[in-house]
Structure 1
Amino acid sequence: MRLLRSLIKDRKGSAAIEFAILALPFFVVIFAIAEIAVMYFVESGLDAAVHQTVRQVRVGVAKSGAWDSKKFKDTVCANLSLSFGCSTNLKVRAIVVTDMASVNRVSPIANGALNVTEDFNLGDSGSYVLVQAFLPWDPVFKLYPIASARLSNGSYVLGSSELIKNEPF
C-alpha cells in the first residue's frame, strides 16, 4: 500500500507521458498541413502553366505552329515547375464553344478512374475555346483522405481550365 501511494505522488516522467499521448495527433496535423500545402502549390503551378500555354493558343502561335495535343501537353509540362510525371499523366480537353449554354461541367472521375475524353480543337480566329487540363496527383503523406473525390488508387485529380476568345490571327 505504501509503495502504491509513493508511485501516485511521484510526478517524474509525467511530461514524457503527456507528450506521448499528444504526439500522434500533433504530427498527423503537421503532416496534413504539409500535404495540403504541397498539393495547392502544385495545383497553382498547373494553373499558371495552363494559363501561359493557353495564351499561346489565344494569340495564334499554336495554330500557326500546327500544335497537336502532344505539343500542347509538352508545353504545359515545360511550364510546370514540379511535373511528377506530367507528360504521361496529363489529360487535356480543348473544345470550341459555340454558345455559353453548351458549356457543361466535366467530372474527371468516374468509378474511381480518371475518365476524360481528350479532345483538341483550337478553333479559328474569334472562336471561344474552353481548355481543361487534369493531372493525377499522388499524395506525399498517405495518412487519410483530404477529399472524397479521389481515384481508386488514392490519387487526387488536380484540374485547371481556361475559357478564351482567340484573337484575330
Structure 2
Amino acid sequence: METLPTLPPPGTIARRGRLLRAVLRRGPGCFRRDEGGVAAVEFALISIPFLALVGAILETALGFFASQNLEIAVSNTARQIYTGQFQGGLAAGTSAEQALAKFKILLCKDRVTVFPCSDVKVDVLALPDNRGIAITGPIDPATGDWRAGFGSRYQAPEDNQIVVVQAAVAIPAFFSLLNPSTYKASQGRSRIIQTAVAFRTEPYK
C-alpha cells in the first residue's frame, strides 16, 4: 500500500512565505547586523590556543621541577662516591652491573619525584688525570633516541681520582609543538632532562 506524503501543519507554508518576503525586503545585510552568539564563537576561537599555551607553560614548569629533583638526587648520591662510602660498601667481586644497580637504588631511595625513578639512566665514569673530560649527551642527534650504551657504564672509582656521574630521564611531552626541546625517545615523544657532576674523590684509602 502506497504511503501518502505528510502535509505540513496548517499555516506553516504561510509563515515561511512571510519570513522569506521579510528577508528579501531587508536584504542579506540583516544577517551581518545580527550579533547573537558572537561571544560563544569568539570564545571557541580563542580558548583552544589559550589552553594549549597554558598547558605548555605548566609542562615547562614541571620540566624545570623534575630537572631540579634529578640534579639534587644525583648530587647527594654521588657524594657517597666522593667520600668512598659507596665503594667501601660494595662486596668483593661485585660486577659493574651490580654496582650500577645499587647506585640507582640509592639514587631513588626515599625520594619523591615527578618521574619514574627506575627509568633514570646513569653512567659513572672514572677518568685518569692525563685525560680530558669530554661529556657527550645522552641523546644521539642522528637518531633522536638514546645514545648507544648510555646508562650502562660503571667504572670503579679509586681514591683521589676524577669521577663524572651523568644521569638522564625521559618525561612525557604533550605539547611538543610549543616546546622545541623534545626528542623522539624510544618510549614516545618525550622531553629529556639530564644532569652531570664531576669531582675528584677524597684520598680515603
Alignment of 1:112-131 (within 5 A): 112-115=144-147, 116=150, 118-131=152-165
2:16 corresponds to which residue? none
TM-score, normalised by the number of residues in structure 2: 0.72
Residue 53 of structure 1 is aligned with which of 72, 77, 97?
77
- Greater displacement, 51-60 / 144-153: 144-153
- Structure 2: how far apart are the matches of 1:36 and 1:76? 24
Quick check: 2:145–2:183 contact (8 Å CA) kept in 1? no
Quick check: 2:182–2:189 contact (8 Å CA) kept in 1? no
1:69 corresponds to which residue? 100
Percentage identity across aligned positions?
27
Match of 1:48, SS? helix
Number of aligned positions between the proteins: 167
Shift of 1:8: 1.7
Unpaired runs of 5+ in structure 2?
1-23, 92-98
Alignment of 1:20-169 (within 5 A): 20-66=44-90, 68-78=99-109, 80-82=111-113, 84-87=115-118, 89-99=119-129, 102-110=132-140, 111-115=143-147, 116=150, 118-139=152-173, 141-142=174-175, 144=177, 146-147=180-181, 149-151=183-185, 153-169=188-204
TM-score, normalised by the number of residues in structure 1: 0.85
User: 1:104-138 deviations in whole A, cap 9, x for unaligned?
Assistant: 13121232331216221242221110110121222
Match of 1:8, SS? helix
Match of 1:82, SS? coil
**C-alpha RMSD of matched pairs (Å):** 2.3
The amino acid that maps onto 1:98 is: P
